[in-house]
Amino acid sequence: MIKKQIPNIFTLLNLLSGVIAILMALSDKLVEAAFFVMLGIFFDFFDGFFARMFKVQGEFGKQLDSLADMVTSGVAPGFIMFQLLLYTTQQQWFMEMNREIGQWSTFEQTNLQLIPFIGFLIPLASAFRLAKFNIDERQTDSFIGLPAPAFALFVVSLPLILHYSDKQIFIDLIINKYVLIAITIIGSILLNAELSLFSLKFKNYSLKDNLLKYIFLIMTLFLIITLKTVAIPLIIIVYILLSIFDNSNKKLQLKKIGANFL
């Protein structure tokens, strides 16, 4: 039946968006690349939505979804980070040359040429995370480790902030190669960390069962209204911090329950 293929069509649209995003990144059109990654993540949300709606979830769709996510949420952000690091190291190269003409060593040049390749940690870590996700039966109601699309949104928000934001403090951070390297390494670790992160899937809409999700959605809306593009990476950080708080709260409750039995 046609409806069985609707989720797969959305998955393929996700993949197509990722391929175009890579092409845009290679053409140094990072804003366009960012928008295509976001479009791919939009399609990624709806492939799962329609799969659940039509009750056609299966192993084939699961594997196809991970392959598409690998391109859109792994390879494309890796190329965007590569280009950002290339830009920041070239800027550093020009500044150093202006400061000390004739004193630029081959060792320093080699270091700056290699730094952009750190960005490719993102597709490597994403591949490892997606492979684990497919065989990890714990990740039904929550995530273990940062979802690849979430980290992809963090990365692609950086060129959008550079292009659209007028807040110099954030621009200065993004054009700092050490900040970009830190984002890449920390994000790659979080992708595969044994850290439980809450899911935004609603089984019901009661306040009691979904308080944390409602708090997150309200904070998300507030950040978007007040900070616009700058809100995107902050939303991901808030998501991680709320999850850590929720985990700590659950552990505390379990300790209290255990103490009551003693």
Model pLDDT for residues 230-246, shown as the tens digit of each residue? 999 999 999 999 999 98
pLDDT at 79 over 80: yes
Q: What are phi and psi of 102, to 5 degrees?
A: 90, -5
Dihedral sign computed on CA atoms, order 166, 172, 37, 80: positive
Start-to-end C-alpha separation, the chain: 58
Please give the pLDDT value at position 104. Answer: 47
Please give the pLDDT value at position 127. Answer: 96
SS3 255: helix
Please give the pLDDT value at position 101. Answer: 46
Task: Give me the mean pLDDT over the 121-130 stretch.
Answer: 96
Please give the pLDDT value at position 209. Answer: 79
Location of each CATH 1.20.120 domain in the chain: 2-194
Q: How confident is the model at residue 260 (pLDDT cuts 50, 70, 90)?
A: low
Residue 86 tokens, joined: 């290339």
Q: What are phi and psi of 57, to 5 degrees?
A: -65, 140
Q: Which residues, other chains included, contact 149 with Cβ-Cβ below 8 Å and sequence gap of 6+?
A: 41, 44, 69, 72, 73
- H or E segment to which residue 190 belongs: helix 177-191
- For 86-125, what is each residue's pLDDT tens digit? 999 876 654 554 554 445 455 555 556 789 999 999 999 9
How many CA atoms, within 13 angstroms, populate the side-chain half-sphere of residue 245? 11
Q: How confident is the model at residue 47 (pLDDT cuts 50, 70, 90)?
A: confident
- The CATH number of the domain covering residues in 2-194: 1.20.120
Task: Give me the mean pLDDT over the 246-261 stretch.
Answer: 75
Contact 192, 121 (CB under 8 A): no
What's the predicted TM-score (pTM) here? Answer: 0.87
Contact 191, 128 (CB under 8 A): yes
pLDDT at 84 over 80: yes
b/e 172-211 (16+ beta carbons within 10 angstroms → b): ebbbebeebbebbeebbebbeeebbbbeeeeeeeeeeebe
Of residues 134 and 77, more confidence is placed in 77
Please give the pLDDT value at position 166. Answer: 86
Of residues 8 and 208, more confidence is placed in 8
Average per-residue pLDDT for the chain: 87
Cα–Cα distances in angstroms (integers) from residue 2 to residues 60, 61, 152, 237, 248, in the given order: 16, 14, 31, 40, 46
Which percentage of the chain shows pLDDT scores above 70? 87
Contact 127, 191 (CB under 8 A): no
SS3 143: strand
Please give the pLDDT value at position 197. Answer: 93
Residue 115 tokens, joined: 């730094």
CA 164, CA 119: separation in Å to the nearest integer?
A: 23
SS3 198: strand
CA 49, CA 29: separation in Å to the nearest integer?
A: 31
| Closest-CA residue to 124 (of 167, 79, 75) | 75
CA 22, CA 25: separation in Å to the nearest integer?
A: 5
Which percentage of the chain shows pLDDT scores above 90? 61
pLDDT at 139 over 70: no
CA 194, CA 214: separation in Å to the nearest integer?
A: 24
